[in-house]
Structure 1
């Protein structure tokens, strides 16, 4: 009987301590700060309980090659701009002039850039939203675009294909990435929620891998990864990660949530696929084939070596 009492007591305490009010990440939730953690986001917005939610875990062996996923065409990604970087209480976000556009890559039309933001873990630990074969990267960049005919994101989200997000993973490097200095250096000025400052001139091209390294990617239909979780997003996840030093990665963990806690663990857990298909580009397939070929060659060489 006593064995049953303890779980029941813990369950009742959890009920007393479960979320109310605004949405939050799991790292923010406590009895002192009651909020709707990810498993309760549908309480904050019913759309978060939909069947086509993001992020997801990409199981590469279950992806299907799609010949339509050819090279992207990036227009004005090289154009420098002086954006404003802001701590919005959940992430770091930078508004982007709408002159930068992306098309091709199997997208149905041209999409213009609106903003980019990031998701991360704690001090360079696992923090990406999407995972690849269960691997969670330290951080993930989302460049948000809307269809060219729309003037605001709210209207674009009413279209089932109104938004296209380009997702990029990060990896820890032994050396700093100088192209990220304008962003990382600005973090010191926006540590508190609603803090904002002007960035030194940057371009979208400088914060992503070179265009020739953007031929390997995955595609699926999903949602925004924060409430309202609107299911209007065409997702593209690029294979090649962006290198940052551990110091650069750790700098993001020095930001603060609204309540003054360290802004860490800013990712939504992966969501069920619910029958959706994930597609891969020809580049991704070639990369996988090359890897398998190298493994096969190594095996043959290993077998041919004298005992």
Structure 2
């Protein structure tokens, strides 16, 4: 399991490789296909991320996932690392994900983040063309596979839980388990230990039955199309100051580099869904990113009724 986790950290969670980047034309997401052929968007049709829109189809069989061990405090310690592409929390063994239409049991390996800049949003997926400030991915590998190589040969070898992150004024106390350690991993290659905490404390636990499902790819090289995506519609809320720790205080270069570069806008561009079905879970409120529209329409309809009623009464 330790060796598998290490491999997964290398391939899935933004390895210590300079073969790809986010902000330089020669190695940004549009150029990844030059080095990693499976990242070429014109050769394959199941890339991630995507935009969630009103074309989603309700699937009443999609109920809450079973997140085993997410409420417990795991033994040992976890590892937080800046790998130059993201901040990665390696959680070790003890947790798994199943149910909710997933084709098997998946062992939880790690989680990592994608964000924008001081004045730009940076989630990878979008909701009705809206990009959230951040996105968190919890990566899980199908338990039947002995290693990552086998999992990457399985079209459903990985299951990733995606959570949008939005901002409010108050600090998220539970998110502080991570944000308070960020100064220790400000530069590429830096690693620190974290005392395990219940992972469920980070999540919108009262809304875990509301999500969207589709089949796609890793959003970093090698962009393998082996991911069952579960995107939760209710975001995690953190404070502006906690967000700023990511957008302004994390660097993609080593501490002793001649010129340190902030790690910003570490998200891949949106890809077409093509013929893929994007399913809404049984309890999903179809696209919360546009939930305000029905309310506006309802208010407008009520105002129209009042106006018409007033006109009718005045004509009596």
1:238 aligns with 2:235: no
Q: Structure 1, residues 147-173: CA drift from partner, whole Å, max 9, x if none?
A: 122243332121111100000001111
Shift in Å, 1:268: 0.5
In the alignment, structure 1 residue 95 sits paired with structure 2 residue 96: no
Match of 1:123 in 2: 118
Q: Which runs of 5+ in 2 are unaligned?
A: 1-17, 311-316
Higher helix share: 1
Q: Identify the residue that residue 3 of structure 1 maps to in structure 2.
A: none
- Whole-angstrom CA distance in 1 between matches of 2:295 and 2:193: 47
Question: How many Å apart are 1:203 and its aligned residue?
Answer: 2.3
* RMSD (Å) for aligned C-alpha atoms: 2.1
1:94–1:124 Cα change, 3 Å: farther
User: What is the rounded CA distance, in whole Å, between the counterparts of 1:103 and 1:124 in structure 2?
Assistant: 37
8 A Cα contact 1:65 1:285, kept in partner: no
Indicate the residue corresponding to 2:263 in structure 1.
263
User: TM-score, normalised on structure 2?
Assistant: 0.83
| Runs of 4 or more consecutive aligned structure 1 residues displaced over 4 Å after TM superposition | 285-297
The change in CA–CA distance for 1:285 and 1:252 in structure 2 (over 3 A counts) is closer
Q: Which residue of 2 aligns with 1:17?
A: none
CA-to-aligned-CA distance 1:167-218 (integer Å, 9 cap, x gap):
00011111110101121111101111110001133222111111x3111111
Q: Is residue 160–residue 232 contact of structure 1 (8 Å, CA) maintained in 2?
A: yes
Q: Deviations over 1:222-274 (max 9, x none)?
A: 00000000000000110000101110001012111126200001101111222
Write the distance in 1 (CA, Å) between the matches of 2:291 and 2:79.
42
What does 1:172-183 correspond to in 2, within 5 Å? 172-183=167-178
SS in 1 for 2:156: coil
CA distance in 1, matches of 2:52, 2:292: 18
Aligned residue for 2:283, secondary structure, equals helix
1:144 aligns to what?
139
Counterpart in the other structure of 1:25: 22
Taking a change above 3 Å as real, the CA distance of residues 208 and 151 of structure 1, as seen in their structure-2 partners, is farther
Is the 8 Å Cα contact of residues 29 and 269 (structure 2) preserved in structure 1?
yes
Indicate the residue corresponding to 1:281 in structure 2: 281
Kept in 1: contact 2:69–2:96 (CA 8 A)? yes
- Contact 1:184/1:248 (8 A) holds in 2: yes
Per-residue deviation at 1:103? Answer: 1.1
TM-score after normalising by structure 1:
0.85
Aligned residue pair count: 279
User: 2:58 aligned with 1:65, yes or no?
Assistant: yes
Residue of structure 2 in register with 1:47 after alignment: 38
